[in-house]
Structure 1
Amino acid sequence: MIDFVLSFFDLPTVVTFLFALSAFAAVLSFVSPMLESDALKSRMKEVSLERNKLRDRQRAQLGSNQSRLREVQGTGVTNRVVETLNLRRVFEPEASREMLRQAGLRSERHLVLYLAARFASPILLGLVAFIYSSTIFVDILTPPMRIVVAVVAVLIGNYLPVVLVKNMIIRRQDSIRRAWPDALDLMLICVESGMAIEPAMQRVAREIGPISVPLAEEMTLTVAELAYLQERRKAFENLAKRTGLPTVKAVTTSFIQAERYGTPLGTALRVLAQENRDARMSEAERKAAALPPKLTVPMMLFFLPVIFVVILGPSVFQVMKMMGD
């Protein structure tokens, strides 16, 4: 058995394994672009569905349709659990819905799944931790330690859905923040060329899509709200709420003021675009200034030992040879 295990560490076997791994990596790098889905196309399809729902909702409010047009909730197990335990009141549905919208999850089904996860994840993680600590680690953990492990798992399960959603929000905001100055420049060009705000945002959303899918999605949804909401101010406020970024809120405030008082939008966009470019440059300079301290520890752990080996290695071998003679 030992000889069989040691045969895997022979030089020919290791070289063959490395060549096979390299070939697999080459094939994977060649095939992976073909397997990627078009994120922009799928997200724009979801936005178009949201636009249809918004249009139907507005028709209902105007009296053309008296039926309830909020998205029909699921009738599955999760929905029954949420309604039976009244989780909407326990976990503050409006705050949860606002957070899910910032993460790009606007469906009522997403809210139901999130509330059910908030309820089920502490129980499941607590049970799994208690079972594992009582069976597999029964000889290591004492009964009080098992209870502590179960309580810690319950606490982790309580915050796990929130942490996951907030991570989605952070990634989405980072994507929007990186592309927002470019979007403002494009919007300034469109507005100064004589385009209204709706076609300008629609054109910018189409152009900015390859760079930031979330930003293109939000701008397209804003165009739909401008077309169907009775108060155009509400559409701009919704854009600021869905993104949760101060830079976007400043631009939407300028849009609202331009709509209300008739102030020139091109001048405001020019100033805001310059401020966002300066802020992006300042952020890049801050990250560049923070790079040398971050590289200190990797340099000490990985580069300096190698340099010492390269410099002192020949001398050490020479001394060992002299001592051997």
Structure 2
Amino acid sequence: MALTYLCMISWDSLQARLNINKIIGSTAEDQKKINLVNGLISAVSFNHEENRKKLISAGIYSDFFSKTYYLLKIIPFCFILLIILATYLRGTIDITTAVIYVSLTVIFILIGPDAYISMRGKKITKKISGRLPFLLDLMNVCVHTGMTIESSLDYLSKEISTVDENLGYVVFKTVERSKVVGIEKAIDEFHQLVPTSEAQSFAMTLKQSLQYGSSVGPVLSSLASDIREINIMELEEKIGKLGAKMSIPLIVFIMIPIVVLIAAPGVLRMISDA
């Protein structure tokens, strides 16, 4: 993790230096460095597109990290594996300890990051979906002021990042893609980035408004209210399940010790009489 962090910091600092030098007018040397690094990374990277989608869903937007994701897992794994093998050959550890160390290395270096990114991706997707009513209300205000759907998304992509970075990034990528493939295709890709029923309703509402020219303001307000009601119902469902979940520690840590305390004197008398 420390190696990954240092690599990402170095790459970001190099890109920041390149952007500064673009203003000054001296970018040739730094551009050569970036091209060299990109060439080396491209030679050893694989599944770049799959990694990029997976990392974007987890809120990690570094292109460098998506290219070197597997590389940053395999190199530490091989290094630790060589250390374990050398230690075993020297006789410092036995075969059982070596197998345990290898298993822990596989879990924490190969399986652990994938599990963490998957869990983080689900959490961020749910968070973005819960923030959609906020986006819908802001779009409703923008539409009522006379802005189109495209211009309102363009404006909100710059402003909403101060409130929610992940939602701001998704809206920003939607605006960027709309300039290349069109707004309807970009809205479909928004649903692909946030694969939830709320995002699907949002995409369908915008597409219907674009296709038929209907007024989108009242529909956005109604959709925001519906999503809020769904979120409240899910919260109430979780609260309702707490009672059943709390009964398990109640039985294990309170009821069973009480039964033991009540039955213990009688059992001890029977043992002593016998």
Shift of 1:157: 2.6
Matched-pair identity in %: 19
User: How many positions carry a matched residue from both structures?
Assistant: 227
Match of 1:215 among 156, 167, 170: 167
**What SS is found at the alignment partner of 2:146?**
coil
Match of 2:72 among 117, 131, 141: 117
Where do 5+ consecutive residues of structure 2 fail to align? 1-11, 16-32, 259-274
Match of 1:275 among 221, 226, 230: 226
Distance 1:129 1:246 in 2: 48
Q: Is 1:292 paired with 2:243? A: yes
Distance 1:248 1:204 in 2: 17
Shift of 1:260: 3.0
Shift of 1:286: 1.2
Q: Which residue in the other structure is 2:192 paired with?
A: 241
Query: TM-score, normalized by length of structure 2?
Result: 0.64
Asked if structure 2 preserves the Cα contact closer than 8 Å seen for 1:255 and 1:265, the reply is yes
Asked if structure 1 preserves the Cα contact closer than 8 Å seen for 2:137 and 2:224, the reply is yes
Shift of 1:276: 0.8
Shift of 1:271: 4.0
CA-to-partner distance for each residue in 1:249-278, whole Å, 9 max, x for gaps?
331233233323434323542442232112
Q: Which residue in the other structure is 1:80 paired with?
A: 40
Q: Which residue in the other structure is 1:158 paired with?
A: 110
Query: TM-score, normalized by length of structure 1?
Result: 0.56
Q: Is 1:231 paired with 2:182? A: yes
Q: Report which of the two structures shows the higher radius of gyration computed on alpha carbons.
A: 1
Shift of 1:207: 6.1
**What SS is found at the alignment partner of 2:68?**
helix
Change in Cα spacing, 1:151 to 1:267, as seen in structure 2 (3 Å) is: same
Q: Which residue in the other structure is 1:265 paired with?
A: 216
Asked if structure 1 preserves the Cα contact closer than 8 Å seen for 2:48 and 2:67, the reply is no
Output the aligned Cα RMSD: 3.8
Distance 1:82 1:275 in 2: 46
Change in Cα spacing, 1:147 to 1:230, as seen in structure 2 (3 Å) is: closer
Distance 1:74 1:296 in 2: 60
Asked if structure 1 preserves the Cα contact closer than 8 Å seen for 2:41 and 2:68, the reply is no
Asked if structure 1 preserves the Cα contact closer than 8 Å seen for 2:157 and 2:171, the reply is yes
Distance 2:69 2:250 in 1: 43
Change in Cα spacing, 1:204 to 1:81, as seen in structure 2 (3 Å) is: closer
Change in Cα spacing, 1:127 to 1:229, as seen in structure 2 (3 Å) is: same
Where do 5+ consecutive residues of structure 1 fail to align? 1-45, 50-71, 309-325
Q: Which residue in the other structure is 2:63 paired with?
A: 108
Opposite residue 110 of structure 1, the aligned amino acid is F
Asked if structure 2 preserves the Cα contact closer than 8 Å seen for 1:184 and 1:273, the reply is yes
Distance 1:249 1:274 in 2: 15
Match of 2:207 among 256, 278, 282: 256
Distance 2:250 2:89 in 1: 44
Opposite residue 213 of structure 1, the aligned amino acid is E
Asked if structure 2 preserves the Cα contact closer than 8 Å seen for 1:122 and 1:157, the reply is yes
